[in-house]
């Protein structure tokens, strides 16, 4: 119920022979690294693919506020609370940039939110896990924001201008988020036995779900081929996952924490870490709506929408009042001009 395949009209990667002249010209611009802007001609499937990805990304930012919001009232110090609140507000801002970027493709924000609330649109699997201890907040910053940056840096160069530009600022802020998470983990892994145990337990629970954030393996990824041809995706799901593992394992070593993967080892020949098999049944189960927190997360968003109805109505009434006042002022100036 919570996630359905959005049909972007794509079954296989199109080649130049399949394309009418306008699409060939479009692909030539992509191949020449010229950005596509909202008023440019684009294939319908490109537009729908972007709406799917950008709206899923926006929903992830907004739903992603919930697991962290759970700890605002329980952050261990005033400073940690202020930092956490700033981070959560940043995530709301990221959602808004992304909804705006998607709106340039001709979908309304109300429609995107209706799709989320009805379970027609996805958001990242990672936000369906609970935040049980303060170390989970450190781990989200360290691993979840770390994975998000790894995926988003290439998106700063993607072919669609509004998405690429939104990503530049988002990546700068995510980088601060990652560091604050790592700082929490550093404090906890140098802390009391109880704090060290919490850090260890949080890494054990979040490691594998973080690797799943990058999506299915390249072999199983339905959208990757065409999205790569359109330069929406510049690196594949598996390439990004490998980069994340390579970057994160030394960070875990520095914290004195063990990554919960007995198969993890450095491979001199490839120059990368080898790692164990991901449990894809867990991933598919979570994106189908059966993760530990899917129902709570969606219900929280639906409640926020319903409870915010009076704010939207008041904002609309205020905007109408201002517009009517401005129209009256213009009419009065025009009247004065005619009588002068």
> Is residue 140 a contact residue for ligand FAQ (CB under 6 A)?
yes
Cβ distance to ligand FAQ smaller for residue 70 or 196: 70
- Strand, coil or helix: what is 80? helix
Please, what is the minimum distance in Å from the beta carbon of residue 199 to ligand FAQ? 18
Please, what is the minimum distance in Å from the beta carbon of residue 106 to ligand FAQ? 18
What's the CA gap between 159 and 164, in Å, rounded?
Answer: 7
| Number of amino acids touching ligand FAQ (CB under 6 A) | 30
Tracing tokens 């990004």 back to the chain, one arrives at 240
> Is residue 83 a contact residue for ligand FAQ (CB under 6 A)?
no
> Is residue 145 a contact residue for ligand FAQ (CB under 6 A)?
yes
> Is residue 133 a contact residue for ligand FAQ (CB under 6 A)?
no
What's the CA gap between 115 and 2, in Å, rounded?
Answer: 10
Cβ distance to ligand FAQ smaller for residue 240 or 255: 240
Sequence-distant (6+) residues with CB within 8 A of 236 are 218, 221, 224, 228
What's the CA gap between 151 and 145, in Å, rounded?
Answer: 10
> Is residue 138 a contact residue for ligand FAQ (CB under 6 A)?
no
Residue 152: CB atoms within 10 A of its CB come to 20
Within residues 42-61, the interface with ligand FAQ by CB under 6 A covers: 52-53, 56-57, 60-61
Cα distances (angstroms) measured from residue 14 to each of 43, 69, 157, 237, 314: 11, 43, 22, 20, 48
Please, what is the minimum distance in Å from the beta carbon of residue 311 to ligand FAQ? 23
> Is residue 159 a contact residue for ligand FAQ (CB under 6 A)?
no
The residue number whose beta carbon is nearest to ligand FAQ equals: 64
Within residues 260-319, the interface with ligand FAQ by CB under 6 A covers: 287
- Strand, coil or helix: what is 274? strand
Alpha carbon distance, N-terminus to C-terminus of the chain: 67
**Which parts of this chain interact with ligand FAQ (CB under 6 A)?**
5-6, 52-53, 56-57, 60-61, 64, 91, 122, 124-125, 140, 144-145, 148, 151, 212-216, 221-224, 227, 237, 287
């Amino acid at each position: 119920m919570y996630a359905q395949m959005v049909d972007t009209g794509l079954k296989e990667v199109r080649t130049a022979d399949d394309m009418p002249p306008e699409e060939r010209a479009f692909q030539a611009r992509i191949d020449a690294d010229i950005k596509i802007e909202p008023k440019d001609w684009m294939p319908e499937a490109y537009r729908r693919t972007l709406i799917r990805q950008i709206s899923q990304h926006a929903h992830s930012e907004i739903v992603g506020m919930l697991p962290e919001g759970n700890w605002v009232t329980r952050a261990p110090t005033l400073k940690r609370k202020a930092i956490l609140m700033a981070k959560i507000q940043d995530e709301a801002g990221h959602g808004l940039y992304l909804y705006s970027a998607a709106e340039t493709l001709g979908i309304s924000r109300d429609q995107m939110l209706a799709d989320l609330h009805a379970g027609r649109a996805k958001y990242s699997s990672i936000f369906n896990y609970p935040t049980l201890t303060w170390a989970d907040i450190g781990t989200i910053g360290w691993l979840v924001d770390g994975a998000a940056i790894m995926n988003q840096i290439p998106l700063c160069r993607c072919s669609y201008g509004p998405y690429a530009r939104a990503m530049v600022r988002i990546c700068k802020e995510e980088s601060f988020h990652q560091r604050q998470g790592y700082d929490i983990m550093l404090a906890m892994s140098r802390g009391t036995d109880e704090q060290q145990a919490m850090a260890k337990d949080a890494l054990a629970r979040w490691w594998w779900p973080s690797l799943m954030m990058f999506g299915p393996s390249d072999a199983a990824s339905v959208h990757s081929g065409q999205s790569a041809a359109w330069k929406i995706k510049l690196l594949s799901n598996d390439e990004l996952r490998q980069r994340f593992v390579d970057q994160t394992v030394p960070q875990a070593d520095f914290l004195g924490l063990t990554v919960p993967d007995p198969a993890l080892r450095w491979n001199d020949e490839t120059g990368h870490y080898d790692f164990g098999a991901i449990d894809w049944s867990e991933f598919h189960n979570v994106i189908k709506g059966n993760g530990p927190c899917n129902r709570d997360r969606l219900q929280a968003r639906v409640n926020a929408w319903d409870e915010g109805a009076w704010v939207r109505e008041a904002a609309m009434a205020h905007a109408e009042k201002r517009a009517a006042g401005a129209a009256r002022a213009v009419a009065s100036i025009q009247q004065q001009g005619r009588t002068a």
